[in-house]
Structure 1
């Protein structure tokens, strides 16, 4: 096992930024695909049990209505996906996109304890959960990916700011 680990540790994929770029690219795809879904009537209605039981997003229906709430979420998700995409080139926009991603998944993960009939009898009861509930559980992993991106983006942006400040200081000396 030690020999395998030693060989794997020498691979460029392990030593470089592949994981960071891969997570960013997959998060962009997730946001863009999910944002497009929100523009369809069937998706707006499929979101009703999620939004109406979300302690951070329940207000969307009284403010925007069913279709408006879906449009709002779709627009926000598209914007976050665009910020994540632009984050490949701009570290400040990367931080904004990662913050938006974290906020998105905090909002959806907080629905989990309040989701109705998560362990309903048709599914077999605990530990067999219903499909809509399980759909939310994946957001725990997406929240983790968002936190990872946010950490990396903050570190990269702060290093970039330090480098700019250092360069400016050196240019004036």
Structure 2
């Protein structure tokens, strides 16, 4: 690529990449949030939450289904707030902060949930299906931090 076309290509690709990152994150969070209203998902997250020293107490207060639904509301709210950045960047800041918190909590399950590493393959670093489900949040938290900085930059402009 010549030096004359490289800046034009970057100028074209950057907003496309930004939109894909932002609205891809919105789709992922919203989809996962919507699933929290199903019994399948509520039961699926129960072992993760119940083994967490930071979160296991929630099942003393809420049923598995109620906690899952509350988490779904939080996730759908985060997705909506991240999505409104072009119009209300200050609201989008809140959505990104929520997303960073959600992904941080999910990543903590890597260290607290039994069976994250595949014992039949020798354990660490081989991830079980649960570990594979959790590890995606490393990338998602990075995207959420980017949406946060993007919204902060836009809210100051």
The CA distance in 1 between the partners of 2:124 and 2:28, in whole Å, is: 29
Tell me the equivalent position of 1:90: 88
Q: Helix, strand or coil: the match of 1:20? A: helix
Tell me the equivalent position of 1:52: 50
> Is residue 115–residue 130 contact of structure 2 (8 Å, CA) maintained in 1?
no
Alignment of 1:2-41 (within 5 A): 3=1, 7-11=5-9, 12-14=11-13, 16-41=14-39
Within the alignment, does 1:154 sit opposite 2:139 as a pair?
no
The CA deviation string for residues 14-67 of structure 1, in whole angstroms up to 9 with x for no partner, is 3x5333222111111011110111111111111112112334432321121211
Structure 2 gap ranges (5+): none
Larger radius of gyration: 1
Number of residue pairs the alignment of both structures matches? 156
The CA distance in 2 between the partners of 1:64 and 1:39, in whole Å, is: 14
Would the alpha carbon gap of residues 56 and 148 (structure 1) be closer, same or farther in structure 2, given more than 3 Å must change?
Answer: farther
The CA distance in 1 between the partners of 2:70 and 2:35, in whole Å, is: 12
Q: 2:75 aligns with which of 55, 71, 77?
A: 77
TM-score, normalised relative to structure 1: 0.81
Tell me the equivalent position of 2:124: 126
> Is residue 87–residue 97 contact of structure 1 (8 Å, CA) maintained in 2?
no
Would the alpha carbon gap of residues 155 and 114 (structure 1) be closer, same or farther in structure 2, given more than 3 Å must change?
Answer: same
Q: 2:99 aligns with which of 92, 101, 118?
A: 101
Structure 1 gap ranges (5+): 160-173
> Is residue 54–residue 107 contact of structure 1 (8 Å, CA) maintained in 2?
no
